Structure 1
Amino acid sequence: MSEVEQSTKLDLERIIFIGRTYEEYLNMFLLKVEDLKGKKILDCPAGACSFTAVGNRSGLDVTACDIAYFHSSEELRRKGIQDIDHAMEHMHKAQKNFKWDYFKDIDGLRNHRLNALQECSKDMKDSGEKYIPATLPTLPFENEEFDILLSAHFLFMYGDRLDYQFHIDSINELVRVTKEEVRIFPLVDLEGKRYEHLEKVTSYLENNGFKVEEVRVPYEFQLNANSMLRIYKG
């Protein structure tokens, strides 16, 4: 293991390896598959999501990056199963904080999470070059290497743990590696409250020449988590 890996690799026990399905991504980010054809797409951080696996199988060009990918696919698969079980136990106590029209019930949610994990871990074995270990706010990619970047369930959600400067540094990095636009979902924290510095972030981006738009999306599982931020370059 290199010195870089040793310094960036997070203890597996501190990683929560849970992901969303390809279909959830289409709804969360208001995506049309025909608009993605011919584009280079980065999912960051991707976790155990199946968007890369299913997207590439469907003819898209998707790369995933995440701090979790410093670990092997089998380690992550085992960790993912444990994390899903733990999350479902918690979900029984917190059902009122979620809308149940998309998944219907906890068993439906579990099936979606297991499906995403299975697709992701299998694809990591078969197409490992598409899963790049990385630790925000630094990414191992060239300037404007990707056309579109999708970032789900990380920035803004952890406003109580990641300070404003971390968000700015990370968004600057997401924008740096992207040619056309960055989409971030959702805009609320873990309690379903709007990220407290969102307007400040928006003003910062606009002052630096970017067009920023808040867009409602046809997906809401966590209460109030039903909109994304679109950051346009150029």
Structure 2
Amino acid sequence: MRKVEQGTKLDLERIVFIGRTFEEYMAMFLLSSDELKGKKVLDCPAGACSFTAVGNKQGLDITACDIAYDHASEDLKSKGIRDIEYAIKHMEQAKGNYVWDYFNDVNALRNHRLNALHDCSDDMKQNNERYIPVTLPFLPFHDDEFDVVLSAHFLFMYGDRLDYEFHLETVNELLRVTKKEIRIFPLVNLEGKRYEHLNPLKRELVGKGYFVEEKEVPYEFQKNANSMMIIHKAKQ
């Protein structure tokens, strides 16, 4: 287990607390509840997603971790509502950057985001032990503690702010805590362009003996964000 000294928690106003629904996770990661039964799953970073809340109600074993979880659930819920309304307010101007198949319109998007936030914040109050505060690229978990690790809308998306070394350290840390595989979605940045260092990262992982594959998924909201990477710890 890696011990990490946590510094002062991040200012709440610097956190954007918006998340996706359980159903979105199933689509973006090409998963089903049956596939996850009997497995220990980590969502990192999880934000305001309802994947952990809804999944555990279905009998799955899911843990969520995020830098935001240093804050109280009520504070996060209030922040999340403000963040959703801010995002929706500006969505009309950027509608052309998105594919409106999964969501019929902006109002449907708002409802999905609010549902995810409410499910997440309610579950945080009732089952706080499932929500672990972390500061990447370090995780306070044992080696091989999870069977599957999922990471959505963080890695690769912020390639202009998080350098290659951070990406590599974070991926290595996610691999450390999983027995089998990690899945990362999407593979593009905020402009919808493929992460520029993705191929060097893949080569480095393959050189370490991991099996890496890219798969298209039946989910695309941001344009070009319709594929994920699976990194298997054992060669296929």
Q: TM-score, normalised by structure 1?
A: 0.97
Q: Which residue is equivalent to 1:152?
A: 152
Q: Which residue is equivalent to 1:66?
A: 66
Q: State the distance in 2 between where 1:103 and 1:37 align.
A: 28
Q: State the distance in 2 between where 1:8 and 1:130 align.
A: 21
Q: State the distance in 2 between where 1:186 and 1:73 align.
A: 27
CA contact (8 A) 1:8 1:135 kept: no
Q: State the distance in 2 between where 1:189 and 1:41 align.
A: 25
Deviation track 1:85-121 (CA, whole Å, cap 9, x = no partner) reads: 0100111110000000111100000000000000000
**Secondary structure of the residue that 2:100 maps to in structure 1?**
coil
Q: Which residue is equivalent to 1:116?
A: 116
CA contact (8 A) 1:218 1:226 kept: yes
Q: State the distance in 1 between where 2:86 and 2:5 align.
A: 31
CA contact (8 A) 1:184 1:229 kept: yes
Q: State the distance in 1 between where 2:9 and 2:196 align.
A: 30
Q: CA deviation at 1:12?
A: 0.4
CA RMSD of aligned residues (A): 0.9
* Residue type of the alignment partner of 2:64: A
Q: Which runs of 5+ in 1 are unaligned?
A: none
Q: State the distance in 1 between where 2:68 and 2:117 align.
A: 13
Equivalent residue pairs, number: 231
* Residue type of the alignment partner of 1:156: F
Q: Percent identity?
A: 67
* Residue type of the alignment partner of 2:108: G
Q: State the distance in 2 between where 1:8 and 1:119 align.
A: 27
Q: State the distance in 2 between where 1:229 and 1:41 align.
A: 17
Q: Which residue is equivalent to 2:36?
A: 36
Q: Which residue is equivalent to 1:136?
A: 136
Q: CA deviation at 1:8?
A: 4.7
Deviation track 1:18-44 (CA, whole Å, cap 9, x = no partner) reads: 000000000000002111000000000
CA contact (8 A) 1:98 1:222 kept: yes
Q: Which residue is equivalent to 2:84?
A: 84
Q: Which residue is equivalent to 1:204?
A: 204
CA contact (8 A) 1:147 1:181 kept: yes
* Residue type of the alignment partner of 2:192: G
